[in-house]
Amino acid sequence: MPEGHTLRRLALDLTAAFAGEPVRVGSPQGRFAAEAADLDGEVLVAAESAGKHLFLAFPGERFVHIHLGLIGAFDILPLAAGEEAPAPRGAVRLRLVGRRAVADLRGATQCALIGAERRDAVLAGLGADPLRPDADPDRAWERIRTSKRSIGELLMDQAIVAGVGNVYRAEVLFRQRLDPFRPGTSLRKGQWQAIWDDLVELMADGVRVNRIDTVRPEHTPEAMGREARVDDHGGEVYVYRRTGQPCFVCGAAVRTEPMASRNLFWCPRCQRRWRLRAVR
DNA sequence: GCGCCATGTATAG
DNA sequence: TATACCTGGCGCA
């Protein structure tokens, strides 16, 4: 269940494990069998990520375009020298086997063999990616400052900001003390810049530790003498999935409400309603 | 063992 | 707005 940091981590790990040498490409499940047969035995040039998209580059401007969706996973298993790859478990749509590792793709919403044109079209449709040094946050700002949609929705729009998902959305708005319901038109440039700078830092950190950690040093379990968070996500967060629990900063109960068909989480006190503050 | 939900998106209606 | 995708972790029996 990936946000942009997961895909960048995956691209780095896949490149390290397979790039530069021929790979066996297969589709044990069968749904990618014809394409896999075309690529089987070819050299994997590199794996790259953009937003939540992943591209496996093969010679001749051919790319495997992968999107994990909500439940997809691409697992990399190291192989000892001469070790056989294990039998596939479950519905493996795509399997890569190299000398040093085997990687299995399951549950992805997208797995297709495409050309450079299609790849460029996907890239062109993506907004500013905080993980890319060449990202253009000013272009995202133009979209945001002229939109009546809420900042909580805008951050999830991949055509505006690429790679941010439900966890980073909730956490960055908490860290910036911004009401998720504020329309884009109500934000000031400096507030957007602060969101962007924070995302750049948080997501780069997410790639390093392969986890979403957003809690500042002064609010860690050790610093506050509180229980560490224990769940399948692992990372320490302020509001994500903490409905009803006390905010680490002010003690108010964390709230949740659907926004853009996803559960939004926020602290009603730290992220005070912008309308109330704007009263003349 | 079963049902539910979830870091997401595309497509049908 | 609803549903397909079809995995994995959790709570509960």
pLDDT of residue A226: 85
Bases of chain C within 7 A of a CB of the protein:
1, 3-10
Question: C-alpha dihedral over A107, A108, A110, A115, to 10 degrees?
Answer: -120
Determine the 3-state secondary structure of A161 from DSSP: strand
Q: Check if residue A54 sits with its Cβ under 7 angstroms from strand B.
A: no
Domain ranges of chain A: 4-124, 137-277
Put the strands of the sheet holding A73-78 in their side by side order.
A24-26, A92-97, A101-106, A73-78
Q: How far apart are CA A166 and CA A268, in angstroms?
A: 18
Count of positions (residues) in chain A:
280
Structure confidence at residue A229 (pLDDT): 74
> Given the DSSP bridges, would you call strands A46-50 and A24-26 parallel, antiparallel or unpaired?
unpaired
pTM of the model: 0.94
Give the per-residue pLDDT at A275.
59
Under CATH, to which class is A137-277 assigned? mainly alpha
Q: Tell me if the domain spanning A4-124 has CATH number 2.30.110.10.
A: no
Residues near A235 by beta carbon (within 8 Å), at least 6 away in sequence: A209, A211, A212, A213, A214, A229
Active-site residue identified among A2, A28, A130, A180: A2
Whole-number distance in Å between A242 CA and C12 C1': 21
What is the structure's pLDDT at A278? 47
Give me the residues of chain A with pLDDT under 70, please.
Answer: 230-234, 274-280
pLDDT at A279: 44
pLDDT at A230: 61
